[in-house]
Structure 1
Amino acid sequence: MYQGSDVLILKDLAELAQRNNTIKDEFYDAHDIKRGLRNSNGTGVAVGLTAIGSVHGYELIDNKKTPAEGRLFYRGIDIYDIVNGFQKEGRYGYEECVYLLLFGELPSKEQMERFNKLLYCSRQLPTGFIENAVFKTPSRNLMNMLQRCTLFLYSYDENPDDSGVENLVRQSIELTARFPVIISYSYQAKAHYFDKKSLFIHPPQKNLSTAENILHMIRPDNKYTKVEAEILDLCLVLHAEHGGGNNSTFAARVVSSSETDTYSAVAAAVGSLKGPKHGSANIKVHEMVLNIKENVSNIQDKGKLKDYLLKIIKKEAFDKKGLIYGMGHAVYTSSDPRALLLKKKAFELAVEKDALDEFNLYKNIEELTVELFKDIKGEDIAISANMDLYSGLVYEMLGIPPELYTPLFAAARVASWCAHRIEQIVSDRKIIRPAYKCVSENRHYIPLAERKDITKQGCCKAV
């Protein structure tokens, strides 16, 4: 750690870095820069093609973003049809979605059985991996651990750099099978070494689904109910794919376009998903709800709850960023189909857990936020609950600790990252290389003896 004068030097350098890396807003406007790869009408800039998944949340009418009911498709199949299909038959659906995303077709019964066998065989981590990658260097942050473990798997792969489709498929199946095991063991290591709890290492079971295995591995007694496993399976299905433009999938495609190895590309996606603007939003929902409970004397009183939500919007409460977490989305406007599907199943779990008061709190947050935004911005505003609102509720009712929320997202999404990587390599061989306009002025090189200590004089100006 820095001490004494070193702290002051570091502070000066930080101020210098701040000044010389601040680009004025008017420069972006002058050069018509699509900040965040967003068009002026709020739509995303088209940068590629994909046949894997699509997200529809609005309509463009006269180049204006017009609200519409949200729709989500996996390989052209509506998510409602997928979920209703496996739920109607009383099956778990995540493995079927993995097959669909990776290979583009729904599997037959025989194909599904063979694929499940491959997944089970691939769940077994390499000899020495748990000891060397997990227990020797545990981490308080499970996403950091997952990213490190992903890169560590490269060393155990006898053919890590081969980008042929057969090898990519093998790696994709192995990563999809191993991510749930890695996050479960990483959680147990964190709970033991940092939280001083007993260490439980339960090996994955052959005849269990991915959702069942996760509950089996993270719980000390291995026990879970059918409804619990079904709703976790639904969470995995709904988190599995969300088009090529979401930040983590785009990261995987960008890195894959350089023709690097699968582990580097997937690790980059994990790093992206860790960010609070992407994969950890349901943690913010959890934190926000805890804050509401601490500050609203009667959470069943809608008037008091609405008043406090207004304070959050006005940046007077919670983290003072003016956001109701779990509400609104970059693409969806009138509705998020994932939230609607999960809300329905969450009610079923709330009945089983005798947690209807908790369910109603989240439901009231959703309804009152919509009312508040209409009061503030007018009746034409379109805002709806996104999946993070109800996934946070579901994980809480399942007793899943918050540090596992985002890793579960990663375990659900890894098959999609791999599918997009395969599509990128097969269909588009060009490295992704967008342009940045440089707005700094040209300057002369100054000999060392003639330079001034600008950290003390503060003479640097933002470009």
Structure 2
Amino acid sequence: MVSSTENRFSEITPEVQALTDLCLKNSYIPPELYVQYKVNRGLRDLNGNGVLTGLTEISEVKSTKIVDGEKVPCEGKLYYRGVDIDDIVAGFIKEKRFGFEETTYLLLFGQLPSRQELQNFRTLLSNYRTLPTSFVRDIIMKAPSSDMMNTLARSVLTLYSYDTKANDTSIPNVMRQCLQLIALFPLLSVYGYQAYSHYHDGNSLYIHIPQPDLSVAENILYILRPDSSYTELEARILDVALVLHAEHGGGNNSTFTTHVVSSSGTDTYSTIAAAIGSLKGPKHGGANIKVVQMFDDMKKTVKDWHDEEEVGNYLRALLHKEAFDKAGLIYGMGHAVYSLSDPRANIFKKFVKSLSEEKGLTEEFALYSLVERLAPQIIAEERKIYKGVSANIDFYSGFVYSMLNLPLELYTPIFAIARISGWSAHRIEELINAGKIIRPAYRNVAEHKPYVKLDDRI
């Protein structure tokens, strides 16, 4: 129940609305000025290519190749420290191992671990998987938020107070902080959800202690579910999801945020909290929630899920802002870099099919596959696009999380649990190669005005 005081806190008063109208009147910049002054909005050129702002050895995203001296689209490729993501996943799947810890080691240290190095690393993460005394009671249980990303950010910032070397930006200390955050993110996320579920929804409160012999993926399911049970396939698919989300080049919004904030010389907790704020956005980490909600609406609207014409008409209605949220988007389709394919989506799809069979949801999987095939054709017919369109990883990740019975509130935190590995690697890379503070330029387009004395103002 929201109190009258809380209602007043959230109220937009007529005074605030009047000030907002004034701000809107005096803050609008005509879009044509961006072209006139050759400003790369979103740090992308007119062809959608990212503006080069830095160098990295951590990962590479490829969507084009050179043929006869010309750049042409190609099937998407993703490399972690120079190793093809397809080979990484195939390697640990073939040996029936969990891969997220191995992937994290690769991202942080630049090489694949030996069997003993991997075991030592798993043990180190397990040792760090303990929150400070009373942290759950005093921090996570107090004022639980309906948004787990805000809860996660608050928890990260509060950990600053428990660290006697919080401001020390030496590489060994930052490495220690990053390893601790990598280990703690699953607990902070799931415990935050449990608190919200209990206090807001009246559900029973479960605070399970993580098990030292379990992988990150297994522990997420272990501490989330009331009975701590899960199937091997469920854990392995969640592990693959973590691997595929762990890193994606230095140019994605949250990783770039990590570089920008790190370049200021601030502490690790402030840096990671800023990255969490970026990932929370629906244009970034929150996209898979939109995919699931879009498909829920589609399944209610489309009578025959196998009818290509009916499904196609729904997709056109989406683009025409006549269906779902009327935003004009087919969520999960298209990517800022990839055109012909997103390698992460291609890898994920193989496992999604297996999980849908285990869960008895093959009809839903068939609908996803149909939309994946039809959407690029329809988008090409309806929109002027500068490159190809294909399904991105968000297209299938939300479906996987729904089949795993993960609450919607945890979809984006799961992304963060994975991406903290990449953020950590990029923060350390920025500090090792410390240069100038990152400060892009903005051109002023406002006219100069004389100062008017207070009594002379209208």
Instruction: Tell me the TM-score normalized by structure 2.
Output: 0.95
1:284-295 matches, within 5 Å, as 284-295=290-301
CA displacement at 1:381 relative to structure 2: 5.8
Instruction: Specify which of 26, 50, 61 is matched with residue 56 of structure 2.
Output: 50
Q: Which amino acid aligns with 1:119?
A: L
| 2:331 counterpart residue number | 325
Instruction: Specify which of 19, 31, 41 is matched with residue 25 of structure 2.
Output: 19
1:308-457 matches, within 5 Å, as 308-376=314-382, 382-452=388-458
Please say if 1:140 is aligned against 2:143.
Answer: no
Contact 1:374 1:380 in 2 (8 A): no
CA displacement at 1:383 relative to structure 2: 1.2
User: In the superposition, relative to structure 1, how do residues 66 and 320 fare at CA in structure 2: closer, same or farther (>3 Å)?
Assistant: farther
Q: Which amino acid aligns with 2:189?
A: I
1:34-433 matches, within 5 Å, as 34-59=40-65, 66-376=72-382, 382-433=388-439
User: In the superposition, relative to structure 1, how do residues 395 and 445 fare at CA in structure 2: closer, same or farther (>3 Å)?
Assistant: same
Contact 1:327 1:386 in 2 (8 A): yes
| 2:4 counterpart residue number | none
C-alpha distance in 2 between matches for 1:257 and 1:381: 33
C-alpha distance in 2 between matches for 1:30 and 1:345: 48
Judge which range, 300-309 or 208-217, deviates more.
300-309
Contact 1:42 1:65 in 2 (8 A): no
C-alpha distance in 1 between matches for 2:238 and 2:454: 62
What SS does structure 1 have at the residue aligned with 2:406? coil
CA displacement at 1:396 relative to structure 2: 0.8
CA displacement at 1:436 relative to structure 2: 0.9
Q: Which runs of 5+ in 1 are unaligned?
A: 453-463
C-alpha distance in 1 between matches for 2:337 and 2:69: 15
User: In the superposition, relative to structure 1, how do residues 96 and 357 fare at CA in structure 2: closer, same or farther (>3 Å)?
Assistant: same
Contact 1:58 1:331 in 2 (8 A): no
C-alpha distance in 2 between matches for 1:227 and 1:293: 26
Q: Which amino acid aligns with 2:108?
A: L
C-alpha distance in 2 between matches for 1:48 and 1:317: 40
Contact 2:47 2:386 in 1 (8 A): no
Judge which range, 371-380 or 272-281, deviates more.
371-380
Q: Percent identity?
A: 51
C-alpha distance in 1 between matches for 2:37 and 2:71: 23
C-alpha distance in 2 between matches for 1:146 and 1:258: 22
C-alpha distance in 1 between matches for 2:330 and 2:12: 40
Contact 1:43 1:65 in 2 (8 A): no
CA displacement at 1:60 relative to structure 2: 6.7
Judge which range, 255-264 or 66-75, deviates more.
66-75
C-alpha distance in 2 between matches for 1:377 and 1:37: 22
C-alpha distance in 1 between matches for 2:356 and 2:147: 29
CA displacement at 1:62 relative to structure 2: 10
C-alpha distance in 1 between matches for 2:69 and 2:36: 21
CA displacement at 1:165 relative to structure 2: 1.0
C-alpha distance in 1 between matches for 2:223 and 2:364: 26
C-alpha distance in 2 between matches for 1:303 and 1:26: 39
| 2:34 counterpart residue number | 28
Instruction: Tell me the TM-score normalized by structure 1.
Output: 0.94
What SS does structure 2 have at the residue aligned with 1:66? strand
Q: Which amino acid aligns with 2:227?
A: D
Contact 2:62 2:77 in 1 (8 A): yes
C-alpha distance in 1 between matches for 2:414 and 2:174: 23
C-alpha distance in 2 between matches for 1:231 and 1:249: 24
Deviation string, structure 1 residues 386-436 (Cα, Å, up to 9, x no partner)? 000110110011011111000000000001101100100111321101111
